[in-house]
Chains A and B, each alone.
Chain A
Amino acid sequence: METENKEKERAFNIIWNASGEYSFKPEIEAYDENGKADIYLNYIIGAVHKYYDYSLLENFFNDLKEDAYQELLKSLTWIGLENCTYERGKVERPVLESLRQSYSKKILSGCDAASTNYLFDEIRIAHFKKALGENPKMTGLASKILNELEFDKSMSTEQIIRRLNKIIRVYFRFGLIPSSYGGKRKIPRRRHIIPFLRLFKIASYKYSGEISFKKKESRFSKLISNWFKLIELRDKRQREYMQKLYGISILPESQTKAIEQVLCTGNHKNCHMHFTCGQFEDNIINNRDAIYHRDAVIRQREKNKEHYKKDLARNNNSISRLTNEIKNAILANSESYSIRSEFGKFMAERVWRNFYLNDNKIFIKNLKDDIKNLSVDIMLDASSSQANRQEIIASEGYIIAESLTRCRIPVKIYSFFSEKSYTIINLFRDYDETDKNDRIFNYYSTGCNRDGLAIRAALHMMKDSESEHKILIILSDGVPNDTQGIPKNESSRIRCDYIGTCGVNDTAMEVRKGRQDGVSILCVFTGLDEDIPDARRIYGCDLACIKSPKRFADIVGVLIQNELNNM
């Protein structure tokens, strides 16, 4: 399993290298008979990406899916592509000539030319014989097809596809292929594929508190006071609603309000906070939303655990590797010692040694390093954009938390999301709850994410930690998105939406502020490749992109190690 993954990774790397592009995930890779990544074919796959418009070819392959001969046609296409890509590539990399020869030899040694029955084999063998400079014997049909197939290097992607369609039309129509070459076409090719309808998830407005003016007051002052009462009432109801739905607040209302006054200012004016640890009220029986949410959380918890257990061995391995790496970094940095030296701080009481013993080492030099006094906060983005990755995020969070716990570093874990004007912080474990790491599996994603406010809240909570050094690790997809906009400037009521540049800038600013206050902020990126630039704008260099789960421990380890080294 492990080697299989490694070979896949290797194949990907060869393809990326050949294409000069690292931002896509290859659809196909090539392996040899021993299951090793094949260097030549994978190069060809990558180089096709470089020299040709792969999206057009992809459409072509998609069209083929409807075809009874799809495997045959696909393989033939690749023979053609190999030809023209090689011709183009060898100008840039002369080494391809010898790689192609050894590949051809390998292919030919694997099959016996005389006993082939299949058209494809005949064409393939003939093609690679030609590559070796031989002049192969072929049947008329195969020879014709191969001639058409060996595309010239000057051809564009469109021309190639046109040629392929022609080959299919001419040689692969009903009855044209001799029965010895295998069967007849069953279904006519379907040319069009209905484009996928993209579904957008929009945060739902579930709240339906009834607020309306019952009676118009004649007096202005009464109107004003009523207005305030209504706002208060609305706030209260919303708060109750949040409590019911997402769990009881862990802070008394007055304290939450005090925190809101500190945090919900500037860009986050009119926002609210709700701190919970996910514990539900006892009497939610008459609230369907709440029951639904609670059940969803429980279901997700099972899924998260299931996912973690599925790769238990690897996850345990990750934990122990990460633990070791962190321990090493701590060890390497926690030495503090002083030595006698020929220079440094003068030690008057040792002067006599110089006079009588000729010992010059009458100074003391301090080589000091602080023993790390460190606490780590882990914050998980729990917005619905993470819905497809919930299990992965819970596992990653657990691995980090467990590793840090094993190094006896205090860890606090929480997730955040927002609904309406509320940003909800769901606390999984506090610094001293060392045996509660598995509460992280309660992770459940819903709603939007107001990253800026969440980071502000996290930094505020971190002020309570007495540690000298503080690290905040955020597992996020780097796409802030909230329904509540931000005011364009102090006085104006015009708001810009908390998405795109606006959201990214606000979040980036909060991150900078935190760093200025001496908190190290790291991001473990959990989103899509196309969002990496935005995440980089927010978190700068301290961003770990995890491309494959088995490298997770290494990458996060390096990030944490560097952070420890820098303290």
Chain B
Amino acid sequence: MLDFLREEEINENLIDEIEQFRKYYNVKPDLRYRIPNPKYNYYGKDIWEEAITVLLCGENLLLVGPKATGKNVLAENLAAAFQRPIWNISFHVNTDSSSLIGTDTFKNGEVVLRHGPIYECAIYGGFGVLDEINMAKNESIALLHATLDFRRIIDIPGYEKIPLDDATRFIATMNYGYAGTRELNEALASRFMVIQMPSISFANLKKLLRREFPNMKEEYIEQFAGLFKDIQKKSESSEISTKPLDLRGLISSIHLMDKGLDAFKALQMGITNKSFDSFEQQLVEDVIRLRIPEKLKRGEIFTD
């Protein structure tokens, strides 16, 4: 991961500090399996540097941005760069403090605390990824306030008070930018450093495709990246929903093409059909047709 950061020309001082961080904080061998090995890399020098600095300073991070901006990719990449075990916690309406920190359970005839992911992450010095943090009801996660701010403790009524491990960091993600997204309340937001995630740039998108598909012809890297940008623009102008705006889907489609499937069919499964409205499908299909020839075969896209 650090080699990748050097390739991306991230400030050398920051990389040195990451190395020191890694040396200083060890990971228990039985937790090593939790250290992620990211499938995709995050591209974007500025964001990388901001995020690394925040984590080095012991702050928590909130990544805000619309769909397909790489919030979770970055979170995972950061954990890999710092070599910390990761706990992924998806927030939803019914998320409450007991499902995060822990709740009473009954074992061998007595009531004991069943640890939640935040608790585990806190004592083992992991990186906790609080996915879609704005989807939980603000009041129900108020118990996290003491965990996330300078106090760095977990205080569960009826049990002991636990200090957080020094290496523990929390990275929250939040989808924001379309009509009707839920707000995060001030108390919670003030406990994070916030990065506004930009949508992936054309150049970085090409970089990503090039890395994922080293055997793809440059001409088609250009076209697939352009296709994604076209769809993004259409969705930003609210002509279509965000459903077909699916980077994961695009990459999976290209994998299918690599296996020999028709480009058009592959894109249909990966992108067009993500929307269930037939008219929207038609619009997306038009976008695709202005980028990808109808009967494109594998040999034309890939070099080998």
Q: Is B143 an interface residue (CB 8 A)?
A: no
CB atoms of B291 and A344 under 8 A apart: no
| Cβ contact within 8 Å between B179 and A543 | yes
Distance in angstroms from B277 CB to nearest chain A CB is: 9
Closest approach, in angstroms, between the C-beta of B173 and any C-beta of chain A?
17
B window 173-198: CB within 8 A of A: 176-182
How far in angstroms is the closest Cβ of chain B from A172?
Answer: 34
A228 within 8 A of B: no
Whole-angstrom distance between the alpha carbons of A346 and B289 in the complex?
A: 60
Question: Given A363-B104, A544-B179, A566-B180: A95 and B109 within 8 A (CB)?
Answer: no
Within 8 A of B (CB), among A351-368: 351, 354-355, 360, 362-363, 367
A224 at interface, CB cutoff 8 A = no
CB-CB contacts of B271-295 with A at 8 A, as 1s and 0s?
A: 0000000010011001101111110
- For window 307-361 of A, CB contacts with B under 8 Å fall at 342-346, 351, 354-355, 360
- A13 to B233 Cα, complex, angstroms: 11
Cross-interface CB contact of A13 among B105, B106, B283, B292, cutoff 8 Å: B283
- Alpha-carbon distance A561/B223, docked complex (angstroms): 36
Q: Does A563 contact B (CB under 8 A)?
A: yes
**A353 vs chain B, min Cβ distance (A):** 10
Contacts of A346 in B (CB 8 A): 104, 106, 111
From B229, which residue of chain A is reached at the shortest CB distance?
A: A20
CB neighbours (8 Å) of B109 from chain A are 354-355
Task: Tell which of A95, A561, A566 touches B290, judged by Cβ atoms closer than 8 Å.
Answer: A95
**Residues of B close to A17: CB separation below 8 A:** 230, 233-234, 286-287, 290
Asked if B105 and A363 sit within 8 Å, CB to CB, the answer is yes
Q: Judge if B139 is at the interface, Cβ distance under 8 Å.
A: no
- Bound together, the chains give a CA A477 to CA B103 distance in angstroms of 51
Q: Which residue of A95, A360, A547, A565 is within 8 Å of B291 (Cβ)? A: A95
Q: If the complex has contacts A343-B98, A343-B105, are A39 and B286 also in contact, measured as CB distance less than 8 A?
A: yes
Interface of chain B residues 142 through 176 with chain A (CB within 8 A) = 176
**Contact pattern, A 522-543, Cβ under 8 Å of B = 1, otherwise 0:** 0000000000000000000111
Are A561 and B180 in contact (CB-based, < 8 A)? yes
Q: Is the CB of B114 within 8 A of A541?
A: no
Q: Does B226 contact A (CB under 8 A)?
A: yes
The 10 closest A-B pairs by CB, nearest first: A562-B180, A22-B237, A343-B103, A343-B105, A566-B182, A98-B293, A13-B283, A95-B293, A14-B286, A541-B179
Instruction: Name 20 A/B residue pairs within 8 A (Cβ), A-sorted.
Output: A10-B282, A14-B286, A14-B290, A37-B286, A39-B289, A92-B226, A93-B291, A94-B219, A95-B223, A95-B290, A342-B106, A343-B103, A346-B106, A369-B93, A541-B176, A542-B179, A555-B238, A565-B182, A566-B180, A566-B182
Known pairs A93-B223, A562-B179 / 8 extra A-B pairs, C-beta < 8 Å? A10-B283, A14-B290, A20-B233, A22-B233, A343-B105, A346-B111, A362-B106, A547-B239
